Structure 1
Amino acid sequence: MRIAIFSWESMHSICVGGVGVHVTELAAALERKGNEVHVFTRLGSPDQAWYERIHGVHYHRCPFSQSPDFVEEINNMCRAFTDVFFQTENVTGPFDVIHSHDWLASNALVWIKQVRPCKAVLTIHSTEYGRCGNNFNDGNSARIRDHERHGTYCADHVIAVSKAIKGEIQWMYNLPDWKVDVVYNGVNYRNFDGWIDPGAVRRHYGIGPMDPMALFVGRIVYQKGPDLLIEAIPHILKYYSNAKFVFVGDGEMRWGVEDRAKQINVHHATRFIGFNNGWKLRDLYKAADVVCMPSRNEPFGLVLLEAWSAGKPVVATSNGGPGEIIWHDITGLKIYANPESIAWGIETIFSDFDHARWMGHNGRIAVETAFSWDVVAGQVMDVYGR
Structure 2
Amino acid sequence: MRIAIFSWESLHSIHIGGIAYHVTELACALERKGHEVHVFTRLGHPNQPWYERIHGVHYHRCPFGSHPDFIEEVNNMCRSFVDAFFQTEDYIGKFDVIHAHDWLTVNAMAWIKESRGRKAVFTMHSTEYGRCGNNFFGGNSERIRHYEWFGNYCADNVIAVSHSLKNELKWIYSVPDWKIDVIYNGIYYKNYDGWIDPAAVRRMYDIGPMDPMVLFVGRLVYQKGPDLLVEAIPHILKFYNNAKFVFVGDGEMRWYTQEKAHQIGVSHATRFLGYCNGWRLVDLFKACDCVCVPSRNEPFGIVILEAWGAGKPVVASMNGGPSELVWHEVNGLKVYAHPDSVAWGIGTLFSDFERARWMGRNGRVAVESVFSWDVIADQVLTVYNS
Q: How does 1:296-311 map to 2 (within 5 A)?
A: 296-311=296-311
Q: Which letter maps to 1:16?
A: I
Aligned equivalent of 2:118? 118
Q: Structure 1 residues 329-338 or 72-81, which shifts more?
A: 72-81
The TM-score normalised by the length of structure 2 is 0.99
| Corresponding residue of 1:371 | 371
2:231 maps to 1:231? yes
Match of 2:323 in 1: 323
1:154 counterpart residue number: 154
Q: C-alpha distance in 2, partners of 1:153/1:168? A: 15
Name the residue aligned to 2:177.
177
Q: CA deviation at 1:66?
A: 1.1
CA distance in 2 between partners of 1:108 and 1:89 (Å): 14
Question: What does residue range 211-226 of structure 1 map to in structure 2 within 5 Å?
Answer: 211-226=211-226
- The aligned counterpart of 2:195 is 195
Write out per-residue CA displacement over residues 120-154 of structure 1, whole angstroms, 9 at most, x where no aligned residue.
00000000000001111000000000000001100
Amino acid aligned to 1:210: M
Compute the displacement of 1:183 (Å): 0.1
Q: What's the offset of the Cα at 1:203?
A: 0.2
What is the alpha-carbon distance in structure 1 between the residues aligned to residue 116 and residue 90 of structure 2? 13
1:312 corresponds in structure 2 to 312
Task: Note the alpha carbon deviations across 1:202-236, whole angstroms, 9 max, x for none.
Answer: 00011000000000001111110001111111111
Gap regions ≥5 residues in structure 1: none
Equivalent residue of 1:25, what SS?
Answer: helix
How big is the shift at 1:91?
1.2
Measured after TM superposition, the shift of residue 90 of structure 1 is 1.5
Does 2:42 align with 1:57? no
Q: CA deviation at 1:95?
A: 0.5
Q: Secondary structure at the match of 1:67?
A: coil
Match of residue 250 from structure 1: 250
1:39 aligns with 2:39: yes
Q: What CA distance in whole angstroms lies between the structure 1 residues aligned with 2:45 and 2:268?
A: 37
Residue 21 (structure 1) aligns with? 21
Q: Distance in 1 between matches of 2:348 and 2:108?
A: 47
- C-alpha separation in 2, matches of 1:228 and 1:70: 30
- SS of 2:357's equivalent in the other structure is helix
Which secondary structure does the structure 1 equivalent of 2:233 belong to?
Answer: helix
Deviation of 1:259 (Å): 1.2
Q: Number of paired residues?
A: 386
Partners of 1:272 and 1:47 lie apart in 2 by 32
Which residue is equivalent to 1:100? 100
AA of the residue aligned to 1:66: S
Give me the identity figure in percent: 71
Aligned-CA RMSD value: 0.6
Q: Which runs of 5+ in 2 are unaligned?
A: none
Q: Distance in 2 between matches of 1:61 and 1:261?
A: 41
Q: CA deviation at 1:384?
A: 0.3
Q: Who is 2:131 aligned against?
A: 131
Q: Within 1, Cα distance between the matches of 2:273 and 2:163? A: 33
Structure 1 residue 263 displacement after superposition:
1.2
Q: For residues 306-358 of structure 1, what are the alpha-carbon distances to aligned partners after superposition, in whole Å with 9 as ceiling and x for unaligned?
A: 10010000000010111002110000000000101000001111111000000
How far did residue 72 of structure 1 move? Answer: 1.0
Q: Secondary structure at the match of 2:45?
A: coil
Q: TM-score, normalised by structure 1?
A: 0.99
Deviation, structure 1 residue 261: 1.1
Which secondary structure does the structure 1 equivalent of 2:274 belong to? Answer: coil
Q: Which amino acid aligns with 2:352?
A: D
| Whole-angstrom CA distance in 1 between matches of 2:158 and 2:313 | 31
Return the offset for 1:116.
Answer: 1.3
Query: How far, CA to CA, are the matches of 2:179 and 2:36 in structure 1?
Result: 25
Provide runs of 4+ in structure 1 moved above 2 Å.
none
Following the alignment from structure 1 to structure 2, what is the Cα–Cα distance between the partners of residues 239 and 17? 35
For residues 280 and 79 of structure 1, the distance between their equivalents in structure 2, rounded to whole angstroms, comes to 36
Which runs of structure 2 are paired with 1:327-346 in the superposition (5 Å)?
327-346=327-346
User: Which residue of structure 1 lines up, in the alignment, with residue 166 of structure 2?
Assistant: 166
